[in-house]
Chains A and B, each alone.
Chain A
Amino acid sequence: MSANTAHSVVEPSATTKRVATVLVVLYAVITMIPLAWIFSTSFKSPPDSISYPPKILFEPTLEGYCNLFTSRSRQTQEYLDSLPPPQGVCEEIARERQMVVVSPSKFWPRFLNSLVIAFGSTFLAVFLGVLSAYGFSRFKVPLADDLLFFILSTRMMPPIAVAIPIYLMYRELGLTDTALGMILLYTAVNVSLAVWLLKGFIDEIPREYEEAALIDGYTRMQAFFKVVLPQATTGIAATAIFCLIFAWNEYAFAVLLTSGSAQTAPPFIPTIIGEGGLDWPAVGAGTTIFLVPILVFTVLLRRHLLRGITFGAVRK
């Protein structure tokens, strides 16, 4: 609709639009403050990060990031003097604090664990979800409604209610503190959401397309991949984002079931606080890096996401 159709019933007036814009911007700013604060803290020095009143302007330093990625130990001045000149930014910062870098910290492996577990379980949940959603949507499944309700019901229980049985089960199966165990767990939680969301999207794709493909000489499977999947991309993208956000942020099961090699970033980041005093810049740095993958993923799929959320609201 063009701008000069001022008296349209459905198009909001210019004033309404302006007020709406102001409100949305205001809301966005308020929501962004904590994120901005975390981001700025990650570049502060430890004294700046706990100074009162809080510092808005400060001299940025990479100390938080260095502390996040390294383990350091305090040394005597004599020992420090006997060392060769510092190599790299982190070594330099450590020397100023009378310390030397001993080894890389565990943050990077934990972050990789998060990536593997979150993306792995998202892929599995969406893959299984799209197949079963297609089945429920297109075929006569005996007791389809009951099965769908059962799938949904797995989401009704608070995770903590099943935490102990799962812990015992995982201990028996040897799945505690393994990436496979976490992937299976997050897949199981997400697959119900995936089936329900995707069934809605696939229901909206007319059957005629597949039937045309069947007649054109394709098998049902080929028709599914060539005709249904390309048209379900919006739904798949939206579902994948929801699944990824859950698996990426999940804390309770991660604390309970991982402690060593398969630990993900969410339970690891708080442990920074315990190690070398209240190292807020390192926590800020960890959180900032933790936010990046989900941000990138969402930005990449945002066009689909927006269409996915408003799906069904506008019919041609």
Chain B
Amino acid sequence: MADVSLSAISKSFGATQAVRGMDLSIADGEFVVLLGPTGAGKTTTLRLIAGLEKPDSGRIAINGEDVTTLDPASRDVAFVFQQYSLYPHLSVYDNLAFPLKSPARRLTPNEIDARVREVAKLVRIDHKLQNRSTKLSGGEMQRVAIGRALVRQPSIYLMDEPLSSLDAKLRADLRLELKRIQNDIGATMLYVTHDQIEAMTMADRIGILAEGRLVQVGTPREIYETPVDIHVANRLGQPRINILPPGLLPCPSIPAGTAQIGARTEHLAISVPANGETANARIDWIEHLGDHNYLHLVCGDRKLVSLVEPSLGLNSGMAVRVELADPLFFAADGARIATNATGSTGRNA
């Protein structure tokens, strides 16, 4: 395992600037997740680290050694692709053994065999070693793909949305498994996804990407609670953060320069109006998710979504009172305005 650092990396394809001046360092044994929409430059970043693309400018170092101009084979990284991850003409066993059989590594057949069986157990595919790789289910294929990365002990594991083609249940299972494996072997991992749940649950640190730029890096908690701007705030939280104009809902104190207010579920205090209070919103409808309800509110000409306990006894059509409690404030350019309440000290917290 090793640390990896990118400094001022840029890469463009024709007129499209895929990555712009990216700085990122990943510590030894750290699990970093890059989160961003399609086209934000996540995959390009991985491919640059792997050596499948050469940066236009900037420097990539693995374990302190400059690898910017090295070819993929000399970088000692492992890559899990989103799809097409297994060699279709090889069995599961041969797929797992393939990286070990490389002429660059000199291992005896016994060493290879032992390593393959060990990893097959780790990713729980040891009962299907002789199967053809095309005869596996989606989850099994992806486990083999992850296994193929694990048979080596590379300096860093690069994973490009490895779970995105799987169904929800499998994704949840493999998410846990992947985190378990990463913990067990203390691997350095850079993981790319557009799924915020994967990012929140697995990452030591999350990097938010937008249009090729790394907008914010921090622990999941930091990113969630103190996003640098409205874009980052939008990436995290289910249901999505409500963006409201100031003055729509009562709020104790609004800092100067606030152009928009971001309110997540925990920032909305919803109550049935008591004596002397006036209702300022109406319940449009309620989505029942079982353990939780999505509450769709109409407030003036705005729509709000919040999560509520089913036990509150709210019905659609009811008039309710909504107040803001320590929401996020954003300036006109989208940057968040720090307040004492959110415990942050500046824009780049």
Contacts and interface: CB of A to CB of B under 8 A. Distances in A.
A228 to B, nearest CB: 10
Interface in B88-116: 88-89, 98-99, 102-105
A230 B85 contact: no
Contacts of B89: 230-231
A219 B103 CA distance: 9
A206 B73 CA distance: 19
A216 interface: yes
B274 to A, nearest CB: 61
B85 A214 contact: no
A217 B99 contact: yes
A231 B89 CA distance: 7
Interface string A207-221: 011011111111100
Contacts of A211: 50, 52, 72, 79, 81
A230 B89 CA distance: 7
A209 B87 contact: yes
Nearest to B47: A211
Contacts of B182: none
Contact of B84 (A209, A216, A219, A222): A209
B73 A212 contact: no
A215 B79 contact: yes
Given A209-B84, A209-B87, A211-B72, A217 B104 contact: yes
Chain B interface SS verdict (over half): loop
B87 A227 contact: yes
A208 B71 CA distance: 16
B192 interface: no
Contacts of A208: 81, 83-85
A216 B88 contact: no
Nearest to A223: B73
B78 interface: yes
A245 B230 CA distance: 67
A217 B102 contact: yes
B77 interface: yes
B298 to A, nearest CB: 46
Contact of B71 (A213, A214, A226, A230): A214
A212 B85 contact: yes
A212 B102 contact: no
A219 B74 CA distance: 10
Given A222-B103, A227-B87, A231-B89, A217 B79 contact: no
Interface in B36-60: 50-52
B84 A215 contact: no
A216 B48 CA distance: 16
Contacts of A219: 73
B223 to A, nearest CB: 29
Interface of B: 50-52, 71-73, 75, 77-79, 81, 83-85, 87-89, 98-99, 102-105, 148, 152
10 contacts: A208-B85, A212-B87, A214-B51, A214-B52, A215-B72, A216-B98, A217-B99, A217-B104, A218-B102, A226-B98
